[in-house]
Structure formats: C-alpha cells, structure tokens
Amino acid sequence: MQPVEQHDPTVYPVEEKVGEDILQRWIMELLRPLIEDWLRSEGRETLVGADQFIYYRQFDPHGRVSPDIYVLPNTPVDTHVTAWKVWETGVVPSFALEIASRHFDKDYYTAPRRYDELGTDELIVFDPHFAKRPRGDGLRWQVFRRNEAGELVRVEATDDDRVHSEQLGCWLRSVGALQATRVRLATAPGGDTLFPTAEERERAEKERERAEKERERAEKERERAEKKAAQAELAALKAELAALKGQ
C-alpha cells in the first residue's frame, strides 16, 4: 500500500492549474485596470490585484480564496504579490469580485462563506451566464456586505445591468451580451456615465488635440482672410485718394 502523502501545512501554493472560462479572463483584463485608474482618480493609490491566492488561516493552505479581482487597502500599487498571507500583514481585501463560471456553485454558495471568514468588507458576484442557469436560478448580480453583527450577508440580488459598490464608490455595470459581455465602472448618481478606459481616454485626448489643431487652423485662416480684406480695403482707399488728387 502506498503511504498517504501528507501536505506540508507551512507550504502555501502560489498557483494551481485550473480550467478558466475565457469570458472570465476577458472581463478581468478590462476591469482590473479600470478599478485601479478609478481609485487613483479618487486619490486612492492602492493595490488592485487579480486571480491570486489570499490565505487567511495560518498552517491551513485550504483556508484561502482566489478573487477574480480584489482591492488591498493601504497597500502600495507596486507591491509584489505572489500569494497574500493576511496574518503577515493584517490586511484583508476591502473589496472582491467573483465572476461566475459555467460551474457556478463555488461562486454562488462557497465563495460568500469563505469571504466572510476572510473578513472582506464587500463581495460582489457577477454571473455573465445568469440567463442560462437551470430553473431560472441565475442572478446577474449579488452584493454582500457586513451587517451590524459583522457578518457578511447578501444585501442585493438583481438581474439589473448595474449595482453600486460602497467600497469602490462607483457602479459596476454589465455591458454587451454573450461572449461580448464586459463589466465597466460607471459614475453619476444612477451609474449612467461610464468611466473611460485608458484607450478611450487616449482617443478622447487625440480628438481634443485634433479639434484644437482644427480650431487653430481655422483661426489662422480667419486672420489671413481678415488681413487680405483689410489690404484690399486699404488698396481701394489709396486708389480712391489717388483719383481725388488727379481731379
């Protein structure tokens, strides 16, 4: 009989090979830098990470979560993270987002319990496949926050396209459909204004520069036209004066 392999309780794996829904990856790749840029614009330079293990029970490698996106408060943006151990830093994610895959039990039922143990202030679960869940059990958004007793409880469950995040101070909004589904940040009281991506800001800046150059070109053209008209008027006056002198 082969001896049972004992796992070293002081070893905390950095990663595991787990199959991932490609749609999850596309949503994460767009949203993580958006959250980082938004927090920076609000004067909150803090670490926004994605898809890494966060361990919350020492000597128990199974006491962990792997948020699709997380925010570590009061943590420099350039902090190097392989696996985060909360007992070493005393810092737990203030915000976490889970994007439900096609196998959604973990995200719907297991994840909230683990984030409750971890001490996360706000967990949001987004399900891009909610409409295809059996028996209509799917929910596009679920928001969990701590109640007065300190328990992480569900405070909102909706199929609307947006929910508000207290920890981020903005809205999370679903845009697109099917494989084009993405999550964007939105501002304004009802979340009607999308916070721009870096590419959108770059395009807007280029458009502003183009418009400014066009304005400068039009201004120079106007000045040339005014100068030409003034010269023509002066020439006409000189000609009229010369004609008067010749009489």
5 lies in a domain? no
pLDDT at 95 over 50: yes
Are 183 and 212 in the same domain? no
Least confident of 21-25, 60-64, 96-100, 207-211: 207-211
Listing from the earlier edge strand, what are the strands of the sheet with 182-187? 162-165, 170-175, 182-187, 193-194
Percent of the chain whose pLDDT exceeds 90: 62
Which position has the higher pLDDT, 105 or 121?
A: 121
Residue 34 to residue 37: CA distance in whole angstroms: 5
Residue 154 to residue 80: CA distance in whole angstroms: 32
Are 173 and 64 in the same domain? yes
pLDDT at 11 over 80: no
The reported pLDDT for the residue numbered 146 is: 97
pLDDT band (50, 70, 90) for residue 2: very low
Out of 13-17, 168-172, 204-208, the most confident range is: 168-172
Instruction: Please state the rounded mean pLDDT for residues 37-44.
Output: 96
Q: What b-and-e string marks burial along 129-141, b requiring 16 or more CB atoms within 10 Å of the CB?
A: bbeeeeeeebbbb
pLDDT digit string (tens) for 66-90?
Answer: 999 999 999 999 999 889 999 999 9
The reported pLDDT for the residue numbered 4 is: 41
11 lies in a domain? no
CA of 183: how far to CAs of 39, 50, 126, 246, in Å?
16, 15, 9, 82
The domain total for the chain is 2
Q: Which domain holds residue 166?
A: 22-195
Residue 68 to residue 53: CA distance in whole angstroms: 10
pLDDT at 26 over 60: yes
The reported pLDDT for the residue numbered 220 is: 87
Instruction: Please state the rounded mean pLDDT for residues 119-141.
Output: 92
Are 53 and 74 in the same domain? yes
The reported pLDDT for the residue numbered 235 is: 85
Are 219 and 238 in the same domain? yes
**CATH (domain of 118):** 3.90.1570.10
Residue 8 to residue 30: CA distance in whole angstroms: 37
pLDDT at 18 over 60: no
Place of tokens 């959604």: 104
9 lies in a domain? no
Contact assessment for residue 154 and residue 144, using Cβ atoms and an 8 Å cutoff: yes
Are 162 and 133 in the same domain? yes
Residue 74 to residue 49: CA distance in whole angstroms: 13
Q: SS3 string of the chain?
A: CCCCCCCCCCCCCCCCCCCCCHHHHHHHHHHHHHHHHHHHHCCCCCEEECCCCEECCCCCCCCEECCCEEEECCCCCCCCCCCEEHHHHCCCCCEEEEECCCCCHHHHHHHHHHHHHHCCCEEEEECCCHHHCHHHCCCCEEEEEECCCCCEEEEEEECCCEEEECCCCEEEEEECCHHHCEEEEEECCCCCEECCCHHHHHHHHHHHHHHHHHHHHHHHHHHHHHHHHHHHHHHHHHHHHHHHHHC
